[in-house]
């Protein structure tokens, strides 16, 4: 065909789950008292810490979920 596009369902599912879990974990971290771990006035360090922690949590949770999903799709 003219536009024969192959979709890797594993990577697509990983990306969707990762974004969803990242957003959820970032808002949970924002609602927590994470900023109490830093000194007063360290705004950018707090934001970087929140972002990195949400990124790590999202990656680990997505990897765990991907191990649970059976992928035997033959399309």
Report in angstroms the alpha-carbon separations of 68 from 5, 37, 41, 61, 64. 27, 34, 42, 11, 7
Provide the pLDDT for residue 4: 65
Mean pLDDT of the chain: 84
**Spatial contact of 2 and 30, defined as CB atoms under 8 Å apart:** no
Over residues 14-47, the pLDDT tens digits come to 999 999 999 999 999 999 987 887 788 888 888 8
Task: Map out the domains of the chain as residue ranges.
Answer: 16-23+46-67
Q: Shortest CA distance to 11 belongs to which of 75, 68, 62?
A: 62
DSSP H helices in 1-75: 9-31, 43-68
Over residues 37-46, the pLDDT tens digits come to 778 888 888 8
Q: What is the average pLDDT across 4-23?
A: 86
Distance CA 20, CA 42 (A): 28
Provide the pLDDT for residue 57: 96
Put simply, whether the predicted model's pTM sits higher than 0.75 gets the answer yes
């Amino acid at each position: 065909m003219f536009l024969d596009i192959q979709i890797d369902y594993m990577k697509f599912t990983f990306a969707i789950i990762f974004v969803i879990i990242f957003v959820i974990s970032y808002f949970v971290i924002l609602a927590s008292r994470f900023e109490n771990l830093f000194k007063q006035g360290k705004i950018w360090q707090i934001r970087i810490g929140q972002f990195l922690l949400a990124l790590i949590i999202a990656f680990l949770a997505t990897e765990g979920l991907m191990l649970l999903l059976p992928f035997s799709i033959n399309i």
